[in-house]
Amino acid sequence: MSRLSLNTATTKNITLADAVTLSAEAGLTHIGLWRDRVAEAGLDKAVRLVSDAGLSVSSLCRGGFLTAPDEAGQAAALADNTQAIVEAATLGTRELIMVVGGLPAAAGLIGGTAVDPSAPGAKDVAAARHRVADRISELIPVAQEHDVRLVLEPLHPMYAADRAVLSTLGQALDLAAPFPAETVGVVVDTFHVWWDPALEASIRRAGTEGRLASYQVCDWNLPIAADALLSRGYMGDGYIDFETITRWVAATGYAGPVEVEIFNREIWESPAADVLATVKARYEALVEPHL
Residues lying near its own copies in the complex (CB under 8 A):
103, 105-106, 109, 117, 123-126, 129, 156-158, 160-162, 165, 167-168, 171, 174, 194-197, 220, 222-224, 226-228, 238-241, 244
Cβ distance to its own copies smaller for residue 59 or 190: 190
**Closest CB to its own copies among 79 and 109?**
109
Distance of closest approach, residue 24 Cβ to its own copies, in angstroms:
33
Which DSSP symbol is given to 164?
A: B
Peptide bond into 180 cis (omega under 30): no
CB of 3 to its own copies, least distance (A): 23
Amino acid at 14: I
In the complex, minimum distance from the CB of residue 30 to its own copies, in angstroms, rounded to a whole number: 27
Q: Given the complex with its own copies, which of 31 and 193 has the nearer CB atom?
A: 193
> Which residues, in sequence order, are CB contacts of 264 under 8 Å at separation 6+?
221, 225, 230, 231, 232, 233
Instruction: Report the SS3 class of residue 39.
Output: helix
Q: What share of the chain is helix, strand, coil (3-state, %, to 5)?
A: 50, 15, 35
CB of 166 to its own copies, least distance (A): 8
Q: In angstroms, rounded to a whole number, what is the distance separating the alpha carbons of residues 19 and 7?
A: 9
- Between 53 and 245, CB nearer to its own copies: 245
Residue 77 belongs to what H/E stretch? helix 71-91
To its own copies, the closest distance from the beta carbon of 222 in angstroms equals 6
Angle between helices 43-52 and 16-25 (to 10 degrees): 10
CB of 277 to its own copies, least distance (A): 21
Minimum Å gap between C-beta 189 and its own copies is 14
Which lies closer to its own copies via its Cβ, residue 121 or residue 256?
121
Q: Between residues 1 and 198, which has the closer beta carbon with respect to its own copies?
A: 198
- Residue 278 CA to residue 34 CA, distance in Å, equals 21
Q: Are 162 and 110 in contact (CB under 8 A)?
A: yes
Q: Which of 150, 33, 145, 32 is nearest to 81 (CA)?
A: 150
Nearer to its own copies by Cβ, of 32 and 154: the residue is 154
Q: What are the φ/ψ torsions at residue 114 (nearest 5 degrees)?
A: -65, 135
* Residue of 290, 263, 259, 269 lying closest to 28 (CA atoms): 259
Q: Nearer to its own copies by C-beta: 95 or 196?
A: 196
Shortest distance (Å) from residue 52 CB to its own copies: 41
CA dihedral (280, 185, 174, 143) positive or negative: positive
Q: What is the 8-class DSSP label of residue 269?
A: T
